[in-house]
Amino acid sequence: MADPLLLRIRCATVGAPDVDAVAGLYAKWLGYREIERTQIDATTAASWGAPAMVGRPSVLLQPVNKLDVYLRVVGIDAVQNFRTLTTWGWGAIEILVDDPYKTHKKLADS
């Protein structure tokens, strides 16, 4: 059997009309911290097959434990009449935590 080509995902990207608001929520509720703020360059946009993303804002977040896993929030136009699970793309990001019960309790009022 061949070794798997994908061993782990080191960065997930989330599109949001308000990059600062989304980055702030990950910081407030899950302890992520901002490590980079930039704009999407032409090389990155081309690698995504999304040339219209050039110049969009981007914030790179890292968990408080400083592991080499990241969350990137990029600016997109607001999607009018958005309904979950009706568009292409991933609908969720799985985040591993040390204590799911403690995290659940913390997120109860989020």
Can you give the pLDDT at residue 8? 82
Residues forming beta bridges with residue 59, ordered by sequence position? 37, 73
Can you give the pLDDT at residue 92? 84
Q: How far is CA 81 from the centre of its chain?
A: 22
pLDDT at 89 over 80: no
Tell me what the mean pLDDT of segment 66-92 comes to: 87
Determine which helix (DSSP H) or strand (DSSP E) holds 73, and give its type and residue range.
strand 70-75
pTM for the whole structure: 0.85
Can you give the pLDDT at residue 56? 98
Nearest to 96 by CA among 19, 23, 9: 9
Amino acid making up residue 42: A
Tell me what the mean pLDDT of segment 14-41 comes to: 96
Q: What is the mean pLDDT of the chain?
A: 92
